[in-house]
Structure 1
């Protein structure tokens, strides 16, 4: 069986990560313990995870005219990700994300979109329409929603599955919802989506998940951090997936590991519960190491994640 083809219409970022015992108060300067420069952006992260699992991945994005753009393109090339549809924007910076990681693994992130915000509907539509084969398209909120809408609409016309990670939290445009098959929020994004539809939810219990899926008109899977994920199955019931037990060092990028793995599994023809198990396994593996993309499982750790996902 040939590898699934996944197009990621989304963001790229250079992560600038500082590790520290605690975050500073307003006006305070404190000493950090480590610093790392890494590749990130929700779109790029999800693309890398899907590629590590074996998908043929096409990245659709815009970069600036700075050194970060060259670094990003080289990283994609190293992973074997197709960058035919990655454009350059003159006089604009590439996306960056300063990140603070505290001793317990909690992270705080500032996203500066740069060239990501300059992506166009024509670029996305042309990329998705022009691919010889396509199984699934992943999108997020670090690029303009109208760009993702254009990509999803083109994907739907080809019979491809569309998966939206509504992060960072924002109201979803009705036009985007209309062409979305799956929505994968975390707990914060779930609450934000519920409020936007006037749903009074005090937690992520089964009735709340069913109610939000009904309001959205999409399939729904919610990531729950160390508690795994909750998936509204095709049978209409909510299924809770408990993840492998690990000791977290850095949670940065764990949600993207889940989404990339979930998308890969759906594109491969697996059902939503198998996709969620693989997503939980890859996300759990990622939190045991520092960084974003470099924390994603490879080699033995990826084999262990696959094995856990098929036997859990």
Structure 2
């Protein structure tokens, strides 16, 4: 075999074949390299790194799956309607990121936390409005009708030191599984939300109702995706928190209601064992009077533990 023939076979093995007009790229490798080379003038090195990796992964995905033009067109249409579904109170792209596991993956990769610090989890698509400032002990359930509940805890550092004046942002669905932004005109704005400042010992507490499990919105393209893949849309019952304090790294997290049937199949993959809390039925008339709730009531205790900023 001649050296020219050997070289030709090597080219064919690499996706390059020869015909009457010369070598022909059959895998698009040259297109990939041209697209990457087009970034040479990018001033921001991190932007260049991200775009280079994105191009290479997208091109490799296209080659690996032999993506058809029709499938590409459907993907473009899906992304288009996803953007069109976004409003001032709805973020369909975050929802898409959530159901693909990307949001939880991002949290997992960047959770280099101190031992004992509260685990973070996804922000979710409903932190779309500012929580109203409330006093400790206020009731964030402005509608009523749900099972009365008290949530209490302490914001502290990983070494156990209380963090007085820490800010605790809270939001949750009601006892029917809806957030206020999903039911304008039915729920008052700010229902299920509160911005609390911890006391001098880092303590916080508020009244609410036990949240219900709920389906994520399925009336848009993300819902179409779930149906196409045979997945259910439910999230286990939970309450969202963002806790922050001077000199410490904020944490975005949830607490999940123990015993919920969806803990093992959360539609957005956000459940972590350390965040599952017992909303215990409490029969204590004196404590009920102190909190201003009927007896018996449900009581969840949860400390938010922050790590120091580097």
TM-score by length of 1: 0.25
- Structure 1 or 2, whichever has the larger Rg, is 2
Greater share of helix residues, 1 or 2?
1
